[in-house]
Structure 1
Amino acid sequence: MSDWKDICSARKSAQLASIPQEWIIQLPPETRTNVLDIPKDCGLLTTRELQITETTDVGILLRKLHSSEWSSEEVTIAFCKRSIIAQQLTNCLTEIFIERALQRARELDDTLKRTGKIVGPLHGLPISLKDQFAMKGLETIMGYVAWIGKRAESDCVLVEILYECGAVPFVRTNVPQALMWWETYNHVFGRTTNPYNRKLTSGGSSGGEAALIAMKGSPLGVGTDIGGSLRVPSSFCNLYALRPSYERLPYYGVVNPQEGQESISSVLGPMSNSMSGVKIFTKAIIDAKPWTKDPLALRKEWSEKEYCLSEHGGGKSLCFGMLWDNGISRPHPPLQRAMKITKAALEAAGHKVIDWEPHRLVEIYGNAEKIFCSDDDHDRRSQCELSGEPVIRMMSPIDDMQGHTMGESFSRSLVDKVGHRSAYDLWQLHKEKRELRKSHLEHWKKTSERTGTGRPVDAIISPTIAYTAAPHGLNTSASFYSAFSNALDLTACSFPVTFVDGELDVPQPPHPFRNHEDEAIFKLYSPDVFAGGPVGLQLIGGSQEEEAVISMAEIVDAALKVYSA
C-alpha cells in the first residue's frame, strides 16, 4: 500500500472515531436501495427527535426555537444524531464536530433564557456546510489527500456571519476531488450515494450536502455552484436550492479549486427541503451586510419591493419561457413529463407559458469550458502530486466502465486548444463572454413581442441537467442546462416536481443525435434503472434578481402543490 492510501485510511478511521458509539446503527443489506425511512425505524431517534427532524419548513423550526418551545441544544442533538444515521447510510459527511456544536447551542439557549432575546434571525438553527467552508481549527480537505492535516486559522466570512445570525454549524459534507464533477467521490472519504436509491449518484459537487438534507439530517445547508453544483444535486435529491449571482453572497475565505479564476465565479447558496429555508437563509445573510466583511460582496440590501415582483407585474399573470430542449442534449422522458406538469400547473394558476428558444448555447458553453481549461488542469494535477494520489479521471466504481463514461469527448471537442492559455488568449475569451452575455440579454428582451404582458419573459424554466440521478460513474461532465446560468451570471433556483415513474416515463424512439453526448444520454435511459428517483427543474431569472427569483420559485412551487393535490 502506498503512503497516500495509508493517509486516507487513517483519516477515515479518525472520522469514524468522531462518531459516538451509541449512535452506530445496524445497517440494512446493500440490496436495500432506498434508505429514507431508516431514521424512523432504526430506534436511535426519540419520538420528539423525529418530530424535530421531520419538520422540513425552516420557518416553523425557527419559530419553535425563538419561542423556546424547542431548545437549540435538543434540536442540535436531534439533527446531529440524524446526520450520523445519514452518514452511515450514504457516506455524506467529512467533518463531524458534535461537541463544538452542542457548546454553541447551549450558549444560545443561555442567552435567550437570560435576556429574553434571540441572537439573530437564525438563532439556534443547526446548519450544515459543504467541505469548502473554512472553520477555525478544522481541516478543509476538499477531497485532496495532500490537504489532510491543514487546519484553518480563521473562519470564512460566511461562517462569521452565520455565527452572528445565531446559527449552529454542526457538520461539513463530502465533495468530489477538485469539485467540478456531477458525482461526489474522492480518495479520502469515498463515494456519497443517493438515499432515494443508493445505486444512483447524489450528484456533485454539493452531493454530500444533498444526500444529508434529503435524509433530513440537516434542516438547511450551504453549497457552492460554478456550473450547476447546487442545482444538479438538489434536483437529484428532491431539494430546493438557490444559485445567486456573482458576489451577492459573501465568498471570501471559502476554499476553492482554481483559486484566482474569476472569469466565471463560484457562488454559494442555500439548500433545503423547503423554499422557506432558501428565502430565510438568503435574507439573513444579506441583512447582515456582507459587504462590510467581504470586499467583493455587492452593497445591495434585501429588497422587499423586488421580492414582491415590482418589475414582474406584481406576480400576477406571469409569463414563463419553457426550455423543452436546448438543441444539444435531449432531456430524458421523466424531465419532459415534469415540464408538462409544471406548464399545466402554472396555466391552471393563471400564468402563461411559452416556448423558450435556446440562444447560442454551444458558443456559451464552449467559451466557459475554454476558460475552465485555461490552466490545462495544472491546479488539480499539482495538488495531487503533493501526496502522490492519482488524479481521478472517471467516477465509475467499475474499472471497465471507461468506454461508457460520458462528457469527456464532447467537452474536449469544444476546447480547440489543450494547454496553458496566455493572458492575451484569456482576455479574448473574456471579450467573447461579454458579447455572448449582451447577445443573450437582447434575445431575452425580444420575447416581449410574444408574452402578451408587455414585459419580456419573467423567468425561464428548464431541466438542471438532461437526466435524473444516474448510476454511479455514468454521469456526464457537462451540463448545458445549468452551466449557461453561471457563464451569463443568471440567478437560478431549483425545485422538485415529481418522481420517475416506469409506467409513465417510457423510453422514446431514437432521434437524430446532435453529438456523442446526446447519443450517450439517450442510450443511458432505462425506466427500471431510474425508477423512483426525484425529478427536479430550475427557474432562471436575471442577474442580481435573487429576491424576484425566490418569489417566482415560491409561486411555481405553490402552483405545483395545488395542481398535484
Structure 2
Amino acid sequence: MAPSIAELSSSSSTPVKEVPVSTTSELAEEQPSKTSTISTWQAIASRRQQEIFSSIPSEWILPADLLKSKRPLDLVKTCGLLNEREVKIVYSTAVDLLEKMRTREYTAVEVTTAFCKASAVAHQATNCLAWTMYPSALSHAAKLDAHMTQTGSPIGPLHGLPISVKEHIYLIDTPSTSGFVGWADNFCTSLSQEGMCINVLRSSGAVFHVKTTNPQGLMALETRSNLYSTTTNPLNTFLSPGGSSGGESALVAMHGSILGIGTDIGGSIRSPALSCGIYGLKPSVARLPHSGLSGAHDGMESVIGVVGPIATCLADVELFCKTLLDAQPWRGEVGLLPIPWGCREGVAAEKEENRKLKIGIIYTDGVHTPHPPITRVLHTTESTLKEAGHEIIPFPTHLHAPLISTVDAMYLLDGGAEYLSHLSLTSEPPTSLLQWLLEKKTTKHRTVSEQWKLHKERNRIQDAYAKLMLETGVDCIIAPGGVTVANAHEEAKYWGYTSVFNGLDLPVACLPAGEVEEGDVWDGNEGGKTDMEALWGPGKEGAQKYEGGSVGLQIVGRRLEEEKLLKMVRIIEKDLGLSGSS
C-alpha cells in the first residue's frame, strides 16, 4: 500500500505496490543474467519501477480514465488533485515564487507540497520520474520556513524553490544509474560525491524533490531504458520528450518542476526543451559547474558535456545561471573559467529593448532538410524580425557536415566497449537507439594518433566557424533544432542540428516559437529525399503523426557569451510576439 501524505514527513521507507512493468518492445525476449544469483535484469527493472510508483502517496494516484488522453499537458490543472492555490503556485515563474516566499505570501512547505503533487501527476501521465524525495523535500522545506520565521530573511537566493535533477547527476541518497540496469544500486552515499552545481543550489535554498529519467547510456535524443521504460511527451504521448534530459522536459512542461537540471553533450538539453515547447540553455564548456555526474566514458574530453537549465521561461534560465556563478564556483571546481555572471552582457539594459540585431539564419544543414512546420516557422521568424528592423542574412553551413562527422567519430572512441561492458553486468539488451549508435560506421576503436587527427580537424573547423561569424558580422544565429519536431519513439537517428554546436562549443538557447499545423506539407519537390525527411510522409500524414508537436528554434551565440545570448533571445522573443520571458 502506498504511503499517505501524512506519512511522508516521518519516513522515506515505502512498501512496494505491485504494478505492471512497462517494457519497451525490444525487451520481449528474456536473456540469461550474468548476475542471476541476485536477480534477472527484468526483475531489477520491475522492482525499480515499482519503487517509484509506490513512493507516490495513495491519495495522489489518479483514476485510470484521467490518464487516457494523448495530450496530458494540462492534467496538473484539471485532474482535481491540486487546489486552486496550488495550481497557481506551480504555474508561477521561479522569480515570482521566490518573491512571494520572501514576503511570506507562500511558505516553502506549501510550495514544495504543490510541486510534489504536480510531479506525481506528471509521472503517471508520462513516466518521467526516476526517484522521488518527497519526505526529505518536505522536511527541508519545513526547516527553511523555520529559518524564515526565526530570522525574517531567506537562507539564500533560491529559498524554498523546488528543483528537479536529472537522474545521472549525483545527489545524496538517490540512484545515479545512467539508465543501466546493472547500475540500479549505484546510490550516492556521500555528500563528497555531489558536484558543485548541487552544492551551490542547496546552499542557495533549493529544495530537491524528484530525479528524472534519462535513456540507457545517456547517448540518445529519446528517453528510454530497460530500467525506467519509456518517457512520453505531454504534448502528444505518441511522441518522445527528447533526450537525454527527456524526463526533465516532460516534468517541467507539465509544471511538476519549476526548474530542472539537465546535461548536454550532443543536444540533451536542447532536444528535450524544443520537443516539449519550453526553454533551455546549453552553455559553453567550463562556464557552469559540471562535476558530480555518473556516466559512461567518464574522463573523455574529445567532446565535453555541460550542465544547464530547463525552464518554462527565459527569466528562470537566467536565474539558474546567475545563482551558480554568483557563488564563484571556479574556486572549488578548477576546470571552470573565472567569469562572473553579467560581465559579458554586451548590451546596456536601458538600450536592450530597442537594439537591432544582425542575425544569421539556417534553413538546412545540407544533410537533412527539416520538416515543413520547422521551415514554416523559420520563414515566419525571418519576415517578422525583418519587419521589426533586424537584419537577417543566410548563414553558410558548409562546415556543418564535416564537423558533424568528426563529432560523431569522437563520441565512442573505444568502439562502444564500455557500453557493452555495462550492459553485460545483467545481460540486459541495448535499446534500439543504443544499438543503432553502437552499429554506426563512425563507432569504432580509435588509436591515439587517430584521436589526434580528429581533434585537429575539430579545432580547424572551430576556428573557421569563428572566423565566419566574424566576417559575416552576425550577433547570433537562428537554426532548426532538428529534422523533426519531437521525434516519434525510436526515430531520433540524427543529431547533427544540435551536436554541431557541441563540436563548436557555442552557447545555445532554446526558444519555443510555434506548433505543428494541419496545413504543414512538403512544398513541391522538397523533402522525402532522406530517411529522416521521409518520416514526415506525404500529404497530411506528417501533420497527423506529429499533431500537437512544438516547433522551437536554437539561438546560437558566441563562445562563453551566455549573458549576451540570453539578452538577444529576449529581444527576439519580444519582437516575435512570443510570451514566456517574464
Mark yes or no: TM-score above 0.5. Answer: yes
Decide whether the 8 Å contact of 2:527 with 2:533 is kept in 1: no
Report the alpha carbon displacement of residue 102 of structure 1 after superposing the two structures with TM. Answer: 0.8
Name 1:450's counterpart in structure 2. none
Structure 1 position 87 matched with structure 2 position 123: yes
- Which residue in the other structure is 2:11 paired with? none
Secondary structure in structure 1 of the residue aligned to 2:50: helix
1:541 deviation in Å? 0.6
Deviating above 4 A after TM superposition, structure 1's stretches of 4 or more consecutive aligned residues are 312-315, 512-525
Q: How does 1:413-562 map to 2 (within 5 A)?
A: 413=441, 415=442, 418-447=443-472, 456-476=473-493, 478-503=494-519, 505-511=520-526, 516-519=531-534, 526-561=542-577
1:334 maps to 2:334: no
Residue 66 of structure 1 and its aligned partner are, at CA, apart by: 1.5
Q: Does 1:36 find its partner at 2:73?
A: yes
Stretch moving more, 338-347 or 26-35:
26-35
Residue 88 of structure 1 deviates from its aligned partner by 0.3
How far does residue 169 in structure 1 lie from its aligned partner after superposition? 1.1
Q: Which residue matches 2:158? A: 122
Matches within 5 A, 1:78-477: 78-152=114-188, 153-154=190-191, 155-304=194-343, 306=345, 308=347, 316-394=355-433, 412-413=440-441, 415=442, 418-447=443-472, 456-476=473-493
Compute the displacement of 1:419 (Å).
2.9
Distance 2:367 2:544 in 1: 25
Q: Distance in 2 between matches of 1:483 and 1:246?
A: 14
Query: Hey, what does 2:24 align to over in structure 1?
Result: none
Contact 2:371 2:533 in 1 (8 A): no
CA separation in 2, counterparts of 1:422 and 1:52? 54
Per-residue Cα deviation, 1:88-120 (whole angstroms, up to 9, x for no partner): 000000010101111111111111121122111
Q: Which amino acid aligns with 2:150?
A: R
Q: 1: CA distance between counterparts of 2:291 and 2:116?
A: 27
TM-score by length of 1: 0.91
- CA, structure 1 residues 512+389, in 2 after alignment: closer, same or farther (shift >3 Å)? closer
State the AA in 1 paired with 2:479: S
- CA distance in structure 2 between the aligned counterparts of 1:419 and 1:42, rounded to whole angstroms: 49
Change (3 A) 1:307 1:193: farther
Q: TM-score, normalised by structure 2?
A: 0.88
Query: 1-side partners of 2:409 and 2:256: how far apart?
Result: 38
Distance of 1:228 and 1:79 partners within structure 2: 27
Q: 1:65 to 1:308 in 2, by over 3 A?
A: farther
% identical equivalent positions: 34
SS in 1 for 2:477: strand
Give the aligned residue type for 1:77: T
* Partners of 2:538 and 2:94 in 1: CA distance: 40
* Matched residue SS, 2:237: strand
Counterpart mapping for 1:64-83 below 5 A: 64-83=100-119
Computed over aligned residues only, the root mean square deviation of the Cα atoms, in angstroms, reads 2.3
Partner in structure 2 of residue 26 of structure 1: 63
Structure 1 residues 140-149 or 274-283, which shifts more?
A: 140-149
CA offset at residue 421 of structure 1? 0.9
Distance 2:561 2:187 in 1: 36
Question: 1:62 is paired with a residue of what secondary structure?
Answer: helix
For residues 561 and 21 of structure 1, what CA distance do their matches in structure 2 show? 43
Contact in 2 for aligned 1:330/1:522 (Cα 8 Å): no
SS at match of 2:330: helix
CA contact (8 A) 2:432 2:490 kept: no
> Structure 1 residues 189, 431: closer, same or farther in 2, change over 3 A?
same
Mapped partners of 1:18, 1:29: distance in 2: 20
How many angstroms does 1:294 deviate by? Answer: 1.1
Give SS of 2:65's match. Answer: coil
Structure 1 portions without partners, runs of 5+: 396-401, 448-455
1:130 shift after superposition? 0.6
Q: What is the CA distance between 1:368 and its match in structure 2?
A: 0.5
Q: Aligned equivalents of 1:309 and 1:530: distance in 2?
A: 41
Q: Report if aligned partners of 2:367, 2:401 keep a CA contact under 8 Å in 1.
A: yes
Q: Is the 8 A contact 2:174 2:187 kept in 1?
A: yes
What secondary structure does 1:197 align onto?
coil
- Which amino acid in structure 1 is aligned with residue 486 of structure 2? A
- Consecutive unaligned residues in structure 2, runs of 5 or more: 1-29, 33-39
Give the 3 Å change call, closer, same or farther, for CA 357–382 of structure 1 in structure 2.
same
Per the TM alignment, residue 522 of structure 1 is displaced from its structure 2 partner at its CA by 6.3
